[in-house]
Structure 1
Amino acid sequence: MTVLVLVEHEAGTVKESSLSTITAAAKIGAVHALVAGDSDEARQAADAAAKIAGVEKVLLATDPAYAKMLAENIAPLVTGLMGGYDAFLVSATSSGKNIAPRVAAKLDVMQISDIVAVEGEKTFARPIYAGNAIATVESSDSKLVITVRGTAFDKAALEGGSASIEDISGTGDAGLSSFVGLEASESERPDLTSAKIVVSGGRALKDADTFEQVITPLADKLGAAVGASRAAVDAGYISNDYQVGQTGKIVAPELYIAVGISGAIQHLAGMKDSKTIVAINKDEDAPIFQIADIGLVADLFDAVPELTGKL
């Protein structure tokens, strides 16, 4: 089988989620990478993609219409290429989850979402029931359209490949949408989805000021990314860019510290694959303790400042 992988990139650099997707694709068949974007940055990303271990060929589509990866423009580009491919894989990111269903609809096939393992050419494992069960699914479609959970696969090596780069033309601007603007939070801390340490706070932190006063110093001491439960986000303690969970970001750091988080299924689905989980909660019956490797039953307003002070 030959697999087409859509490579997400920023400032000429391939995103880590795409490296994991390439690893998954290599378990299915030969990997060809598609890089779409606007001129120089896209070409830089294509050069980087060509060096990734496991990539046999890079397709480069440059057009101003592809600069912001709008799904309405990228999906027709992918669909037009699928005549020569058996499968299309993309990361289960916001962009990937926007593009893949459109491709599946155009190809008239069933999408397989958020896979965590490749069992065979057309057999995959994916979480269901908020991650409480893993379903093994087998496709009977002639073409596969798949989104990949990045935290479930190792990242492909950035060096070791020597793929050729082929310039291709696409369908350009479909005229269905336009990029207006982007409001993104900027932080010197590591990106939440790729950080080795994550410190997350829950609704027990009372308000935005308290969240900042308790969580931020600990995260700074550890060089960690900051996360939050949906309850904390909904209460306005922090923006939804930091939400961890089924409807937020999926993380799997080396160390996950849950502060004042009870452990609702929605949140656990986004972080339970973390290597080491530390929970701080004054409720000894909180569900978070059932999956925590280390649990501290204590008042977070005493425990966290003390922990921060000793680091």
Structure 2
Amino acid sequence: MDKYAGVLIVAEQDKGEIHKVTSELLNKGKELAGKLKASLECLILAGEGIAAEELNFRGADTVYYMKSEAFEVQEEYLFKSNISEFIKEHKPEIVLVGATDFGRSLAPRVAAALRTGLTADCTEMEIDEAGKLIQIRPAFSDNILAHIRTVTYPQMATIRYKEFCESGRDASKPVNIVEVKPYLDEYDKSRVVRVFSDEEFDITEAEVIVAGGRGIRRKEDLTILEELAEVMGGAVGASRALVDAGMISGAHQVGYSGNRVKPGIYVACGISGAPQHLAGMKESDVIIAINSDPSAPIFNVCDFGYVGDLYEIVPELIRAVRRG
């Protein structure tokens, strides 16, 4: 193990902008690296407009970047091949990846290529007395916190978005940026022909979310949620039941198997409050619940609760918001 050293953050960039989860990882990475008395490094793969300097200012001691037109599209096989080869050569002790859609798809591939373990969706990390990484994540519908230690190296984990504060920016920090030649910059086993985007928003960024559950009877009835979300300046979310029923796309799903959100206001309409759903939204600043069942678990976590028919209450809320 003595040949492994340092903490490596695998950065994620989209359209020239660093994903906020990367800044959060840099913040936590500084803490871990400090306890290990090790360096904090960052690796980024992108096409044009690589934000390497920003990663330096956010806390990375050294930023390594690979530049290629092939990296304009986030393709798992290509990224996996380059990242795993970089790790084999540089041998970081700890590798952290953001638990975004792409990160969740990429990290297991990298771990498999390195023949090491991976703990997914961590909410906290610590360094124990032996200098090992303790990876903490919810288990059994968030009823317990599992403490996991990887016995192989590097120790890898994906970290949930919005678990840590973003790293502060210090533009006076010395710039240390190193370009690395891509190990592979051609599509080998797959080729991206065209990229489709079916969503114009990222629900994890919404400050207000109006979410629907089994209480929504038909797809057409989502319009009342859309109207409430519009007047409140928010986005529409959904429980897994609506996604499974084909009423709305998975990008709107909130819960353990969907998106984890922390908006200022979360309005749960016709959502009973299954543990899997609560795991994704219970840290919202204010939770408003509307449900016809007074014993629904959602009322145990809400700040304001309305027992009644959402088809009557939601239109009243819309009118009240419009009146100001």
Q: TM-score, normalised by structure 2?
A: 0.88
2:52 matched residue in structure 1: 46
Contact 2:226/2:235 (<8 A) preserved: no
Greater mean deviation of Cα atoms: 84-93 or 190-199: 190-199
Secondary structure at 1:203 match in 2: coil
In 1, the alpha carbon distance for the partners of 2:120 and 2:213 equals: 28
Post-superposition offset of 1:281: 0.6
Q: Does 1:87 align with 2:103?
A: no
2:65 matched residue in structure 1: 60
Please tell me the residue identity of whatever aligns with 1:69: Q
In 2, the alpha carbon distance for the partners of 1:257 and 1:166 equals: 47
Q: Give 2:27's match in structure 1, choosing from 23, 37, 54.
A: 23
Q: Does 1:182 align with 2:166?
A: no
Contact 2:44/2:65 (<8 A) preserved: yes
Tell me the number of residue pairs that the alignment of Structure 1 and Structure 2 aligns: 304
In 2, the alpha carbon distance for the partners of 1:291 and 1:155 equals: 27
Calculate percent identity across the aligned residue pairs: 32
1:9 matched residue in structure 2: 13
2:251 matched residue in structure 1: 241
Please tell me the residue identity of whatever aligns with 2:306: L
Q: Does 1:156 align with 2:167?
A: yes
1:199 matched residue in structure 2: 210
**1:1-311 correspondence runs (5 A):** 1-29=5-33, 30-38=39-47, 40-41=48-49, 43=50, 45-52=51-58, 54-82=59-87, 83-84=89-90, 85-120=92-127, 121-158=132-169, 160=171, 161-172=173-184, 173=186, 175-187=188-200, 191-212=202-223, 214-311=224-321
Secondary structure at 1:157 match in 2: coil
Q: TM-score, normalised by structure 1?
A: 0.91
In 2, the alpha carbon distance for the partners of 1:174 and 1:191 equals: 28
Structure label with greater radius of gyration: 2
In 1, the alpha carbon distance for the partners of 2:239 and 2:153 equals: 40
Gaps of 5+ in 2: 34-38
Secondary structure at 1:27 match in 2: helix
Post-superposition offset of 1:307: 1.1
Secondary structure at 1:245 match in 2: coil
CA RMSD of superposed structures (Å): 1.8
- CA 1:158–1:222 in structure 2 vs 1: closer, same or farther (change >3 Å)? farther
Gaps of 5+ in 1: none
